[in-house]
Chains A and B, each alone.
Chain A
C-alpha cells in the first residue's frame, strides 16, 4: 500500500525540514504544500526530500490539504495522511493512524489528542476544542472525542467520494461532515499532541478563529 503524507505549511521554516526528515522513512512519499509562505519553507522542504507544491498566494489550511491530497491521488496513493508542519505530532504514530485502513477495517481515521495525550495546551484552546466537538456533532451527527485534529488518514476511495471545498480551518469540520454524508466507516485513534512555544505562536489561537470557522461552515452549507 502506497502511503503518502501531506503536510500543509505556511511560514514554517523553523520546523518543516525536521518534520519532513522525521516523516520520510515512515511513508512512501511526503508532499509539502507551501501555502504562499514569505519565508524559505518551500526550499527547506525540498532539500529535506519532500515533493513540494507552492501556492502563489496564501489560500488557507483546507485549500493546501486539498491541493496536496489531489497530488497524492495523482501519484497513486492508497492512503493519504494529513500531518502538521509545526512539529506538534509524533511521526512514529503514522503507522498507528494508517493501520485501521491497511487492515481494511475503516476508510477514514481521525487522530484524537483526548484519547491519546496532550501536552502543554492553553486553557482557551482546550475550551475551544471541547466546544468544537459539540459543534461538529450538531452539524454532522458524528460525535468525535477530538473534532479539530490535523492528524488523520483517508483511503484513496474515501477521498474520491468526499466533496471538500473549505479553504480555511473549517476544513476540519467539513471532512467530518462529509464522512457522515457519504456514510464512510471511520475510527478514532489516540495520538499525542505536544504544544511548544513555537507551535502555540504559530497556530491560530483562541475563540475568534473558531467564530470564523462557524461562519465559513454555515455559509458553505446553507447559502452557496
Chain B
C-alpha cells in the first residue's frame, strides 16, 4: 500500500467517525448521515482498489480513474458551494427581517420614551 492510500484511508476513517458522532448528537439528519457515509465509504473503496475507478472511468470514456474521481469531486464541490450560497442569501434575508422588526419595535421620538409595540411582520 502506498503512503497516499494510507493517509487517505485514515482521513476517510476520521471523517466517518466524526460523521457518526454528529449523527449521535442529532446535528445532522439520517438522510445527510447516509449520504455522507456512502460518500466516504466509496472514497475508501476507490482508495483501496484504484483499478475499480479506472474500470468505471473506461465505461464513461474517461481515460484514467483518477481523472474521473477529480471530475466527480469538482462537480460535487461546485454543487455544495451553490447550496451554501443559496443558504447564505436566505440567512441574509432572515437577518434583515429580524433587524427591521427590532428597529421598528424600538422606534423612538424626541419625547424620549421608547415606544414598545408589537410590530407586524414586514412584507419584505
Contacts and interface: CB of A to CB of B under 8 A. Distances in A.
A219 interface: yes
Contacts of A51: 107-109
A123 to B, nearest CB: 34
Given A59-B96, A63-B100, A52 B122 contact: no
Contacts of A33: 103
A54 B106 contact: yes
Interface string A153-194: 000000000011101000000000000000000000000000
A216 to B, nearest CB: 10
A1 interface: no
Interface string A45-67: 01101011111110100010011
A71 interface: yes
Contact of A224 (B86, B104, B120): B86
Nearest to A220: B89
Contact of B104 (A53, A63, A164): A53
B89 A46 contact: no
B103 to A, nearest CB: 4
Q: How large is the interface on A (under 10, 10 to 19, 20 to 34, 35 or more residues)?
A: 20 to 34
Interface string B82-123: 000010010011011001101110111110000000011011
A212 interface: no
A74 B96 CA distance: 18
A52 B107 contact: yes
A113 B18 CA distance: 60
Contacts of B124: 66, 163-165
Given A49-B110, A53-B107, A224-B89, A59 B99 contact: yes
B102 A165 contact: no
Contacts of B95: 57, 59
Interface string B58-90: 000000000000000000000000000010010
Given A163-B124, A167-B92, A70 B100 contact: yes
12 contacts: A46-B109, A46-B110, A51-B107, A51-B108, A55-B99, A57-B99, A59-B95, A59-B100, A63-B100, A67-B104, A74-B119, A165-B93
Interface of B: 86, 89, 92-93, 95-96, 99-100, 102-104, 106-110, 119-120, 122-124
